Structure 1
Amino acid sequence: MTWFRIDDGFHGHPKVVQLSLESVGLWALSGAWCAQYLTDGVVSSNTVRRLGGTTENISELVNSGLWNEHSDGWEFKDWADYQPVKAEVEAERSAARERMKRVRAAKKGVTSPDVQPNKHRTTEERSGRSSPEVRIAPPDQLPPTSSSVSKETETPSIDINGLFESAYAAWPKKVQKKKSLDKFKLHARKHDPHWLATQIIMFGKAYAAHVAKEFTPALNVWLNGERWTDDLPESSQRPGRQAPQSRAAQNIDAYWKEFGDDDPSGGMASIDS
């Protein structure tokens, strides 16, 4: 589904205030039609008539500069500057289809293009007898089973709940814990969980030192607003000619200046994002 975008200041634009309500309605309906059928702002004469457009309406839209004449009917002025064009929409749809293919393949256990999902086996294959087209590898050539793979190669799991508890303990305002945990898990999908917990601890200590508890945001509100990009409470930027730093790095410098060598991560991980 595509959308026809209308600016919230459209109602007071100089080109619009001089139009009749019927002409404004024709403009909006025609725009929705163009967005649905990906015409890049071209609306046919037949469609204009079907939508109830009159010669007077068309003249108003052309004279106001909202429409231009086109060989197929009429054309929205500067459509590509404000609305999605056909090429962009089709590219996004194609990318979405590819993503869904990967999701469906992952649900079926297919992890790469070389691995195909299980197919229906013949009676001979189910009974263990090999047909001329099927060859069974000798036991010494079979790949190792999952039980034979060393556990050292397995990726260690991350204790999301444990990280959250450590971070929540440092947050001065203890409210809406469940909502905070849900938001933490959501952002942990996009950011390193250890880094995220470090940011919470760092900001929690800064809030506790400089901001009254009633003015401290709940942790879920802070997470929802991605406020680790804010300045630390009461932190100040020192003038100088040092190379630019990321917001996270600036917050870390400010934290260390305020709290000394106390490591906000508790040794959990590096706080580089």
Structure 2
Amino acid sequence: MTDRAPWGKTYSDLWRHPKWVQLEAGPRALWVTALSWTVESRTFGAIPTPMLAMFRASEEDAAELVRVGLWDATKDGWQLHDWDHHQTSREKFTATSKARAVSGSRGGKARHAKSTRKSVTSDDRQIAKQTASNRQAEVEVEVEELLPPTPQGELLAATAPRPRGFVYPDSFELWWKTWPKKGDTKKTAFAAWEKAVKGNRRQAARVTAEHLQAAVEAYAADRNLPEQQFIPLATTWLNQDRWENGPLPPRGGSRGGPQAGDTGRAMAQSYDAARAYEALEQSGYYDQTPPLALTRRIA
């Protein structure tokens, strides 16, 4: 008998919670879709970066969920915030599965004794009765209360727009001016920058503003910096601590590019590599030291 897919539950006041009302439709849809997937897949809140493409979501949507505190950024993607506190932990799920296995084994023995007309003791009857009761109560991975109810005053304070005179810190403005990718989202980039520099209640600061500035200046000036479409989003660069990566690998390979007489073949390989590199970047599979074949370009 195969296990049925478990149910996921959310708290009844989710629609008016401060974290939720700050989000647009895209991040909301991503949160619900990811919750459904991780419950069915039993990843216990872990969401690998490539799943964004499957969910038809963007990194900006994910960054918004991190900003409001519904997701936590990890090395391999994201984690639903406080999974063990709000939902069924891996340990509880494992214990329940083992209990079901033991109960099912005992129930099978009791049924076998009955079918072969052997004498059945009172203990056997009690075991069979308990097994039937367990089957009737479908085992579910219960997603418990997602968020606690909040006073109306806290809701209004959390959702109030920024003051008209809000100004980004000078250190971030300098970092943003240096960031080499055009068309990035400043609002989400600032949220990721601030989390890295200042931390929050759940995570300490990971880097200083001075170190980040030096790193972005080196990154922007790197002679091997790829074309605009291959530069990662600012939020991705910050959330994945890519300031620690060091210099970029050579774009032309160790031999300095294609040899004479191989121009046509080199152009075809470069085109294919560029498309593959772009697909990997969009899906989240961005390796800190990508294979040489994916970094070759025509000089």
Which structure has more relative contact order (CA 8 Å, sep 6+)? It is 2
Greater Cα radius of gyration, structure 1 or 2:
1
TM-score of Structure 1 vs Structure 2, range by shorter chain: 0.3 to 0.5
Structure 1-normalised TM-score?
Answer: 0.39
Structure 2-normalised TM-score?
Answer: 0.36
